[in-house]
Structure formats: C-alpha cells, structure tokens
Amino acid sequence: MSQLVIGLSGGIGSGKTTVSDLFAAFGIDVIDADLIARQVVEPGTLALSAIVEKLGSQVLNQQGELNRTQLRQLVFSDPSIKEWLNQLLHPLIRQQMKSQTLAAKSSYCILSMPLLVENKLTHMVDRVLIVDVSETTQLQRTVLRDKSNVEQISAIMSAQASRAERLAVADEVIENDGQASDLSEKVGQLHSYYMQLAARRNKVID
C-alpha cells in the first residue's frame, strides 16, 4: 500500500495526462478517474443499461458503446440529466478509486481526478497537485485536441472550477503554459519530494 496519495487535478486541456504519464515513468502507480469513469459504463455494465433506459439508444454508437459526444451534448442542454448521471456514476467511480488507491504498491501513488475540486474530494488524498494553465491555453489546446468548437469547450470550462478555486486547495502547482518538454524536470523534482515525504511517513508508521 502506498504511504502517500497525491491528488492530481487541473482544468480541461491543462496537461494532466502528460503529467501523470511522467510520474508513471518513474514507476509510480497512477489511478485515473477518467479511465474508471469509462470502465463503469462499458458494454454489459448495469450503469450503461440504466443510461440507455433513461436516455434511449441515441447515446450508443454502432458498436454498442457509450457515445460520449452525444451524451455531452445532452448533459449541457439539460442540467437535470447531468444531475441524474452524477448520482448514478459518482458512487461507482469513487468506490473504484478508493479500492485502486488501497491496492497501489509504489511508495506514493497519483490519483488523477479532473473534478477533484468540483466534487469536493480532497479528503480522499494526502496532498493536492494542480496543473495550472491560462484559460487561453486551455481553450486553444482543447479545441485542437478534441476537434470541438470554441463554444462547447468554453461551456465545459465555465462548468468547471475556476483557476482560483483550484489553486486555493493546491499543495503543489505545476505551471504548464510552456512546452510539454518543460514538464519532465518539474515532475522529476516533485517525484523526489514525494518520495521523501513517503519515506518519512513510512518511518512514523514503523
């Protein structure tokens, strides 16, 4: 079991995945809330069946998988759908995050949660690491990455916590307005720091 759980978060397009991949390269276990969120609605799950029953087969693609683009449009056009989905999926996702965190073997582990601040889940982690970028960078990167329109990405950003709200709960911050290559050194420094913290906690427990 890991001695330290680091909650990694940041707004859409901030570079969370790049950062978590760099930690993984050091042999650190990464629990990804986005991946878990996809797993709990895979074909054959009770959650996907409930979504289809509620919203119809329009939310499925030709392979019988959840059509996330279609679902995203429904969610942003009707807040009641978002609330219903949250009540259905969040308990399942949190249960999986907790069990996977407890099963982590590295000295510390990364729990990557895009909505850590919005869902008030800081109690699940020991420290909060925020990947911070300007809103302009967020918008440019996400439009390019997702091939989405500016209005839709802006709506997603507006629904998320503000930069100030994320930074208010941060123990550590990685500024990521530069090139992806700049992140390696920053993550390396934090890795050394977290290893030291985990070692100290291990001594206290021993």
pLDDT tens, position by position, 160-192: 888 889 999 999 999 988 777 789 999 999 999
Same domain as 70, residue 122? no
Q: Which of 105, 138, 156 is the last residue of a domain?
A: 105
Q: Which of 105, 120, 137 is the last residue of a domain?
A: 105
pLDDT tens, position by position, 32-58: 999 999 999 999 999 999 999 999 999
Same domain as 140, residue 60? no
Buried/exposed 57-76: b ≥16 CB within 10 Å, e otherwise: eebbeeeeebbeeebbebbe
Same domain as 202, residue 160? yes
Residue 53's Cβ-count burial label (10 Å; 0-12, 13-18, 19+) is exposed
User: Domain tally for the chain?
Assistant: 2
Residue 159's Cβ-count burial label (10 Å; 0-12, 13-18, 19+) is middle
Same domain as 98, residue 111? no
Are the C-beta atoms of residues 132 and 163 closer than 8 Å to each other? yes
What does the block give as tokens for 45?
Answer: 């799950």
CATH of the domain at 121: 3.40.50.300
Question: Mind spelling out the 3-state secondary structure of 41-56?
Answer: CCCCCHHHHHHHHHHC
Strand order in the sheet with 29-32: 29-32, 108-112, 4-9, 127-132, 172-175
Same domain as 195, residue 143? yes
pLDDT tens, position by position, 19-31: 999 999 999 999 9
Confidence of residue 197 (pLDDT cuts 50, 70, 90): very high
- Domain span at residue 92 reads 36-105
Same domain as 126, residue 65? no
Same domain as 167, residue 100? no
Mean pLDDT of the chain: 89
Q: Which of 44, 71, 105 is the last residue of a domain?
A: 105
Confidence of residue 69 (pLDDT cuts 50, 70, 90): confident
Same domain as 139, residue 52? no
Same domain as 196, residue 94? no
Same domain as 112, residue 196? yes
Same domain as 22, residue 73? no
Q: What is the pTM of this model?
A: 0.84
Least confident of 2-6, 17-21, 74-78: 74-78
Same domain as 156, residue 64? no
Please report, for residues 6, 23, 26, 57, 119, the alpha-carbon distance to residue 184 in angstroms, rounded to integers and kept in the order given. 18, 9, 11, 43, 29
